[in-house]
C-alpha cells in the first residue's frame, strides 16, 4: 500500500487550550507533510493528558537546567514500565496526536529518551502517517532522530507490508536508509530473498551489516539456499568476509561438518581463514571434542593452524583445562607452546587454583616457566598477592620471574599501595627486590607518589634508583608541582636530581612561566640550570611568545638567549611570521650562526603554511649574508616536497650565493622525480665545476632508476673530457648490478686510460 493513500486530511483539535496539528496529505510517490502548530496546551490540559498516559501530573515537566547527568535525576523522567507502556497503548492514535502536540517540549527533552522511544513506537503502530508527520515538523536534533527511529520501528513491527510499501516510494537518503535497516531483520525472518533484494536500496557501505543480519537468520532455516545466495552478493571483500563468518557461525551450531565443507570451497586466502576460524570457535563452544577431532584430521598447514587456534580460543571456560591438554598434544612445537600458553591464560581467568595445580605437575623447564608467567600475569589484577607468591616460588627464569613480579606488584599497588610497599620491602635484598621496588614506584607515581618515596632508601645508588626517582618526580609534578619542587631540591646532587628538576619545571611552566623562570635562575650548574632554562624558554615561547621575548631580553647568557629567540620565532611562525622575522633582525645579534638557527626555525614553519609569503620576505632582508642563509633554509624545505619549485627558487635567487651542497640537494630531489629534465637543466650551468657536480648528482639517482636511459643521455652529450669522466663514473656506479649493460658504455669512452679502467672494473664484476 502506498503511504500517500494511508493519509486522510484531518484536524486534531484538543479541547480548551490544547494544541493541534494540521497534517495535510502529500501527493505523488514522495509524499511530504506540512506541520502547523496551534496554541500550546495550558497547565490543566497538560496534567489531563499526562494522567491519561499513566503519568502523575507534572511528571513530564522540563527538568531544571542545573541537572546535568542522568544519574542525578530522581524525578520527572518517564520510565518504560509495563503499566506506563500499557497506558500509552490504550490510547487511540488521535489521542496520542493530542498528547504529542501538548507535550512537545518534554518529548524533545534530552533526558526523556524512554518516553520518546515508547511514545513514537506506540503512535506509529496506530497512525504511522501522523507520527512521522509530527517528527518531520521538529527541528533537527538528536532527539528528532530518536523520534523518527522509534516511529519507523513501531510501524515495521506492526505492519511490515505497509512499511515496505512506503519505503518503495521514498527517495534515497538518510531516512530511507534507516527505514531499510529497520525493515530488514523482520523481513529476513520470513522472506530472506526479499530482504536481500531490499539491501539494494542501501549505499554500498551500509550493505555489509544488513547482509550480516539476513544471512545470520537465513542459515538457520536453509543453509544451502543461504550459501547459494551469498555467492551472488556484490560486497567489498572485507564486508563479504564478515557476512561469511556470520553464516558460518550460525551453521556451525546445527551442522558444523557441512559448514566446514562449504567454507573449504571458498577462495584461498584471508576470507577462508577468517570464516573457518569463526566456524571452529563456535563449534568448539558447543562441542569442543568434535571440533578438536576434526582439527586433528585436517592436513598440516595454515588452515589447520588457524583451526587449532580457534578451537582453543572457543573452548568452554568451565572445561578450559581440557583445552590446555589438547594444545599440549599438537605436533608443531611452536604452535603447541603458543596455544598452551593461551589456554593457560584463559584457565587462569576461570579457575586459577586448578591452573596452578596443573603447572606444578609439569616437568621443570622453559615451558613451565612460561606457563607460570602467563598464569601470574593473569592473576595479577584479581589476586596480586597470590600472583606474586606464584612468581617467586614457581618461576625459575630470571626475566620471566621479573616480568611476573612487576605485573603482580603493579596490581597490588593499584589496589592497596601500603600493602604493596610493605610486601616489596620484605623481599630479600638483591636485583629481584630492586626490580619490584622500581615497578612499584612506577605504579605509585600515578596513584600515591608520596608513598613511593618511602621505598627509595631501599635502592642502592645507580640506574634503578635514578629511574625510581624520575618516575616519582613525574607523578608528584602532575599532582602538586610546588611540593614536587621542594622534594626534588632536597635530593642529593646528581643525575636523578637534575632530571627531576627538569621534569618539575614542565609542570611549573604550565602554572606560571615567569615564576618558573625566576626559580630556574636560582639553580646551580649542578642542578642543570641551563637545561631547565632552555626548557622554560622553549615551552614559554610556545605558550606566550611575547612574554617569552620580554624575558629573553633580560638574559645575559648568549646561548640561552639565542635558544629562547629561536623558540619564540618558531612559535610566531605559526601566527605572525612577519613579526618573527622582525624579531630575528632586531634581537638576533651579530653572530651569523645564531641568526641562522633562528631563521631556520622561522622558515621551516612559514614555508609550510604560506610559501609565497615566505619567498617574498627574502627580498626584504638587509644583507647578502642574511639572504643567503634565508634562501638556503627555503631551499632545504622546498626541495624535499616540490623539487621543481625549488629549481624555480634557485633561478629566482640566482644572484644569491648558495652552498654547493644545497644546490646538490635540490638537483638530487628533482632527479628522483624527473631525472632527464633535471639533467637538461644542470647542463646549462655556466660554472663548470658546479655543472659537473650537479650532473653527477642527477646521474647518481638516474642510474638507480633507469640505467639505460641515463647511459643514453650521457652518450648524446658533446664529446670532451667532461663527458668521458661522467661516463666512467656512470659505468662504475652500475657495474655491479648491470655489468652486461655497462659494457658498450665503457667502450664508448674516448680517453684510453679511463676506458681501460672501466673495462677492467667490468671484468672483475
- Give the residue among 325, 326, 321 at the shortest CA–CA distance from 349: 321
- Whether 668 shows a pLDDT value over 50: the answer reads yes
Residue 21's beta-bridge partner residues?
Answer: 37
Residue 23's beta-bridge partner residues?
Answer: 10, 35
Mean pLDDT of 634-646: 77
Confidence of residue 475 (pLDDT cuts 50, 70, 90): confident
* Strand (E) or helix (H) holding 620: none
- In percent, the amount of the chain with pLDDT more than 90 equals 8
Diameter of the chain measured on Cα atoms: 115
Task: Report pLDDT digits (tens) over 675-734.
Answer: 887 778 777 777 777 777 777 778 887 887 788 888 888 888 888 777 888 888 888 888
* Segment among 38-47, 98-107, 504-513 with least mean pLDDT: 38-47
Q: Which residues contact 398 (CB under 8 A, 6 or more apart)?
A: none
- Whether 31 shows a pLDDT value over 60: the answer reads no
* SS3 at position 10: strand
* Segment among 9-13, 92-96, 416-420 with least mean pLDDT: 9-13
Q: How far apart are CA 502 and CA 485, in angstroms?
A: 10
- Whether 10 shows a pLDDT value over 60: the answer reads no
- Whether 584 shows a pLDDT value over 70: the answer reads yes
pLDDT at 131: 93
Q: How far apart are CA 673 and CA 17, in angstroms?
A: 77
- Whether 39 shows a pLDDT value over 50: the answer reads no
pLDDT at 642: 77
Q: How far apart are CA 191 and CA 669, in angstroms?
A: 62
Query: With 0-12 CB in 10 A as exposed, 13-18 as middle and 19+ as buried, what is 399?
Result: exposed
Mean pLDDT of 124-143: 90
Contact 50, 126 (CB under 8 A): no
pLDDT at 428: 81
pLDDT at 659: 64
pLDDT at 238: 79
Q: Residue 279 has which C-alpha cell? A: 566456524
- Fill in the DSSP letter of residue 7: -
Q: Which residues contact 764 (CB under 8 A, 6 or more apart)?
A: none
Q: Domain limits of the chain?
A: 1-61+79-171, 706-765
- Whether 442 shows a pLDDT value over 70: the answer reads yes
Task: Report pLDDT digits (tens) over 313-332.
Answer: 899 988 999 989 998 898 88
pLDDT at 588: 63
pLDDT at 485: 84
Task: Report pLDDT digits (tens) over 550-564.
Answer: 887 777 777 777 777
pLDDT at 589: 58
Instruction: Give the strand order in the sheet containing 21-23.
Output: 10-11, 21-23, 35-37
Long-range pairs, 569-576, Cβ under 8 A, ≥24: 569/598, 569/599, 569/601, 569/602, 570/541, 570/601, 570/602, 570/604, 570/605, 571/541, 571/542, 571/545, 572/545, 572/602, 573/601, 573/602, 573/603, 573/604, 573/605, 573/606, 573/609, 574/605, 574/609, 575/545
Mean pLDDT of 112-137: 92
Higher-confidence residue: 252 or 553?
252
In this structure, is the dihedral angle defined by the CA atoms of residues 215, 221, 223 and 229, taken in order, positive or negative? negative
Higher-confidence residue: 289 or 80?
289
| Measured CA angle at 232 (ends 227, 234), to 5 deg | 120
Q: How far apart are CA 644 and CA 674, in angstroms?
A: 9
Confidence of residue 591 (pLDDT cuts 50, 70, 90): low
- Whether 58 shows a pLDDT value over 80: the answer reads no
- Give the residue among 425, 468, 479 at the shortest CA–CA distance from 443: 468
Q: What is the average pLDDT value for the chain, to the nearest integer?
A: 78
Confidence of residue 593 (pLDDT cuts 50, 70, 90): low
| Measured CA angle at 745 (ends 744, 751), to 5 deg | 110
Characterize 528-546 residue by residue with b for buried, 16 or more Cβ atoms within 10 angstroms of its Cβ, and e for exposed. bbebbbbbbbbbbbeebbe
Task: Report pLDDT digits (tens) over 388-438.
Answer: 788 878 888 878 887 888 788 788 888 888 888 888 888 788 777 887 888
pLDDT at 47: 47
**205, 238, 486, 501 from 492: Cα distances, Å:** 63, 60, 13, 12
Task: Report pLDDT digits (tens) over 335-354.
Answer: 888 898 899 888 988 898 99
- Whether 166 shows a pLDDT value over 90: the answer reads yes
* Segment among 66-80, 126-140, 249-263, 730-744 with least mean pLDDT: 66-80
pLDDT at 432: 75
| Measured CA angle at 362 (ends 359, 366), to 5 deg | 95
Q: Residue 70 has which C-alpha cell? A: 542522568
pLDDT at 4: 27
- Residue given cell 649574508 in the structure block: 625
Mean pLDDT of 143-161: 92
- Whether 230 shows a pLDDT value over 80: the answer reads yes
pLDDT at 600: 76
Q: Which residues contact 755 (CB under 8 A, 6 or more apart)?
A: 746, 747, 749
* Segment among 29-38, 145-154, 457-466, 703-712 with least mean pLDDT: 29-38
Task: Report pLDDT digits (tens) over 191-225.
Answer: 888 988 898 888 877 888 888 888 888 888 888 89
Amino acid at each position: 500500500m502506498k503511504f500517500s493513500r494511508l493519509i486522510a486530511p484531518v484536524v486534531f483539535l484538543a479541547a480548551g487550550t490544547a494544541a493541534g496539528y494540521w497534517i495535510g496529505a502529500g501527493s505523488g510517490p514522495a509524499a511530504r507533510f506540512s506541520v502547523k502548530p496551534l496554541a500550546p496546551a495550558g497547565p490543566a490540559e497538560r496534567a489531563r493528558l499526562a494522567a491519561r498516559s499513566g503519568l502523575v501530573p507534572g511528571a513530564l515537566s522540563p527538568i531544571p537546567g542545573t541537572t546535568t547527568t542522568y544519574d542525578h535525576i530522581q524525578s520527572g523522567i518517564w520510565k518504560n514500565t509495563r503499566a506506563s507502556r500499557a497506558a500509552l497503548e490504550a490510547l487511540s492514535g488521535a489521542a496520542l496526536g493530542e498528547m504529542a502536540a501538548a507535550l512537545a517540549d518534554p518529548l524533545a527533552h534530552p533526558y526523556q529518551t524512554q518516553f520518546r522511544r515508547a511514545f513514537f513506537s506506540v503512535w506509529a503502530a496506530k497512525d504511522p502517517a501522523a507520527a512521522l508527520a509530527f517528527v518531520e515538523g521538529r527541528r533537527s536534533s538528536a532527539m528528532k532522530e530518536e523520534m523518527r527511529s522509534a516511529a519507523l520501528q513501531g510501524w515495521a513491527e506492526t505492519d511490515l507490508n505497509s512499511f515496505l510499501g512506503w519505503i518503495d516510494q521514498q527517495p534515497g537518503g538518510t531516512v530511507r536508509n534507516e527505514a531499510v535497516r529497520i525493515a530488514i531483520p523482520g523481513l529476513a525472518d520470513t522472506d530472506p530473498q526479499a530482504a536481500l533484494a531490499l539491501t539494494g536500496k542501501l549505499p554500498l557501505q551500509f550493505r555489509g551489516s544488513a547482509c550480516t543480519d539476513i544471512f545470520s537468520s537465513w542459515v538457520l532455516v536453509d543453509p544451502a539456499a543461504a550459501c547459494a545466495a551469498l555467492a551472488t552478493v556484490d560486497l567489498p571483500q572485507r564486508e563479504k568476509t564478515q557476512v561469511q563468518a556470520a553464516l558460518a557461525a550460525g551453521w556451525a551450531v546445527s551442522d558444523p561438518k557441512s559448514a566446514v565443507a562449504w567454507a573449504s570451497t571458498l577462495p584461498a586466502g584471508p576470507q577462508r581463514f577468517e570464516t573457518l576460524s569463526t566456524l571452529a570457535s563456535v563449534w568448539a563452544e558447543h562441542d569442543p571434542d568434535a571440533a578438536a577431532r576434526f582439527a586433528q584430521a585436517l592436513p598440516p598447514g595454515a588452515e589447520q593452524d588457524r583451526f587449532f587456534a580457534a578451537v582453543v580460543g572457543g573452548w568452554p571456560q568451565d572445561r578450559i583445562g581440557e583445552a590446555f591438554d589438547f594444545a599440549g598434544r599438537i605436533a608443531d612445537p611452536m604452535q603447541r607452546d603458543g596455544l598452551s600458553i593461551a589456554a593457560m591464560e584463559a584457565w587462569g581467568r576461570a579457575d586459577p587454583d586448578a591452573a596452578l595445580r596443573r603447572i606444578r605437575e609439569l616437568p621443570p623447564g622453559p615451558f613451565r616457566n612460561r606457563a607460570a608467567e602467563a598464569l601470574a600475569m593473569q592473576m595479577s589484577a584479581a589476586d596480586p598477592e597470590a600472583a606474586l607468591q606464584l612468581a617467586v616460588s614457581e618461576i625459575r627464569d630470571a626475566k620471566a620471574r621479573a616480568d611476573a613480579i612487576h605485573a603482580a606488584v603493579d596490581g597490588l599497588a593499584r589496589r592497596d599501595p601500603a600493602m604493596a610497599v610493605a610486601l616489596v620491602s620484605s623481599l630479600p635484598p638483591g636485583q629481584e627486590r630492586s626490580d619490584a621496588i622500581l615497578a612499584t614506584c612506577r605504579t605509585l607515581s600515578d596513584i600515591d607518589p608520596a608513598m613511593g618515596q618511602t621505598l627509595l632508601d631501599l635502592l642502592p645508588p645507580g640506574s634503578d634508583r635514578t629511574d625510581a626517582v624520575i618516575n616519582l618526580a613525574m607523578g608528584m609534578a602532575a599532582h602538586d608541582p610546588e611540593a614536587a619542587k621542594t622534594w626534588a631540591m632536597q635530593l642529593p646532587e646528581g643525575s636523578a636530581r637534575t632530571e627531576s628538576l627538569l621534569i618539575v619545571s614542565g609542570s611549573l611552566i604550565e602554572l606560571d612561566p615567569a615564576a618558573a623562570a625566576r626559580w630556574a635562575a636560582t639553580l646551580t650548574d649542578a642542578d642543570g640550570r641551563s637545561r631547565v632554562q632552555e626548557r622554560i624558554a622553549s615551552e614559554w615561547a610556545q605558550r606566550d611568545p611575547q612574554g617569552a621575548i620580554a624575558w629573553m631580553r633580560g638574559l645575559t647568557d648568549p646561548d640561552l638567549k639565542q635558544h629562547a629567540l629561536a623558540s619564540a620565532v618558531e612559535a610566531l611562525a605559526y601566527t605572525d611570521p612577519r613579526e618573527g622575522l622582525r624579531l630575528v633582525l632586531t634581537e638576533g645579534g651579530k653572530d651569523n650562526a645564531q641568526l641562522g638557527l633562528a631563521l631556520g626555525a622561522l622558515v621551516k614553519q612559514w614555508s609550510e603554511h604560506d610559501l609565497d609569503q615566505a619567498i617574498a620576505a627574502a627580498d626584504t632582508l638587509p644583507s647578502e649574508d642574511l639572504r643567503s642563509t634565508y634562501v638556503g633554509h627555503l631551499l632545504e624545505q622546498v626541495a624535499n616536497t616540490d623539487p621543481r619549485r625549488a629549481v624555480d627558487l634557485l633561478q629566482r635567487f640566482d644572484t644569491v650565493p648558495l652552498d654547493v651542497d644545497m644546490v646538490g640537494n635540490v638537483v638530487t630531489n628533482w632527479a628522483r622525480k624527473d631525472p632527464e629534465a633535471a639533467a637538461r637543466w644542470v647542463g646549462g650551468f655556466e660554472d663548470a665545476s658546479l655543472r659537473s657536480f650537479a650532473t653527477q648528482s642527477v646521474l647518481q639517482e638516474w642510474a638507480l632508476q633507469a640505467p639505460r636511459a641515463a647511459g643514453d643521455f650521457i652518450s648524446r652529450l658533446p664529446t670532451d673530457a667532461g663527458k668521458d669522466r661522467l661516463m666512467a663514473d656512470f659505468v662504475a656506479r652500475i657495474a655491479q648490478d648491470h655489468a652486461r649493460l655497462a659494457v658498450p658504455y665503457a667502450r664508448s669512452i674516448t680517453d684510453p686510460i679511463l676506458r681501460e679502467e672501466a673495462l677492467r672494473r667490468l671484468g672483475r664484476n
